[in-house]
Amino acid sequence: MIKGKASYPFETIALAVAFSPRLEALIAEAGRFASIFQAKTVFIHAGKISDEKEKHLNNLLNHYGFNSSNSVTEWKEGDAVDTILSICKKHIVDLLIIGAVEKENMLKYYMGSVSREISRRAKCSVLMLIEPKLSPIPFQRMVVNGHSHSKSVHSIETAIYLAGKENLNNIIIVDEVDIPAISMSIADDNTAPEAEYIMETIIEDEHSKLSELLSSVDHKNIQLKPNTFSGRRGFTIGKYAQSVNADLLVVNSPDHHMNIFDRIFTHDLEYMLADLPCNMLIVHSRVF
């Protein structure tokens, strides 16, 4: 039963297999995650099975320590996104790993590439890797969204779980204060010091809410570093993650089914999907 299952631990992970040049690196990354999470792994290929492809994949899987006791391979023809997501549902996958390019070309982005569509529609957490490595290394710096939303606590807890597995000492939690038209309405009727004071108060207020939230989370000896910024939600955290050279950005899953209008009038997750700042983990809180 997927609905209601906690977003972590990652007991079953899956890798979306495309026979691209990055396949081996992605399998290597999947091997590392399977090992640190002690997880069963499902390899999913949405496409026709052929002897050549099967042999190539089996060779790679054997090379990276996968066998029939710790993994399953699913071959199924059909729409790539629907197929991958239905197989994830069948195996109650907790974490789906996909390879993704940092930036899609404009047409592909608007039409919806497979990796972006999966990240929008998945009912499990999705890890998008932009630079999978043949010799994978643990994540060094994690940035996690912490804005006022009921899903954020699940993203933070999942990030703590992952950080624990990666032996990280700390993670950065970012709250973005995004209030439309605020600066203009403040500037209209206030003196400059008053306007500055109001903005500072709003930021401080949000920061104390974030600190309060973090104090209620079981951080498992991992230091949680709260940061609060004013800016457009999704865009600001992406830029921040880039500025601190984060190698993993952890964010909430979208609240509703994202469609082309969300791409045209970009907001939240779509800012990041338009230009991935680094690897990204989209945490699906299945309690909602």
Interface contacts to other proteins, rule CB under 8 A? 106, 148, 177, 179-189, 198, 202, 206, 230-232, 235, 255-256, 261-262, 264-268, 271
Q: Coil, strand, or helix at residue 54?
A: helix
Q: Tell me the closest approach of the beta carbon of residue 266 to other proteins, in angstroms.
A: 6
> Least CB distance from residue 284 to other proteins, whole Å?
19
Q: Which CB, 230 or 242, lies closer to other proteins?
A: 230
- Supply the minimum distance, in Å, between the C-beta of residue 187 and other proteins: 6
CA 30 to chain centre: 15
Residue 132: CB atoms within 10 Å: 22
176 contact partners, CB below 8 Å, separation of at least 6: 145, 147, 228, 229, 230, 231, 232, 233, 234, 236, 237
Give the residue with the Cβ less far from other proteins, 47 or 231. 231
Min. distance of Cβ 38 from other proteins in angstroms?
Answer: 38
161 versus 240: smaller Cβ distance to other proteins? 240
Instruction: Specify the residue, 19 or 110, whose C-beta has the smaller distance to other proteins.
Output: 110
Angle between helix 23-37 and helix 51-63 axes, rounded to 10 deg: 50
**Choice between 41 and 252, CB closer to other proteins:** 252
**Biggest distance spanned by C-alpha atoms of the chain:** 74
Question: Quick one: how far is CA 8 from the chain centroid?
Answer: 13
Nearer to other proteins, 52 or 188 (CB): 188
Q: In Å, what is the CA distance from 162 to each residue of 98, 138, 199, 211?
A: 17, 10, 34, 21
**Rounded-to-integer distance, Cα 124 and Cα 117, Å:** 13
The nearest distance, CB 199 to other proteins, in angstroms, is 10
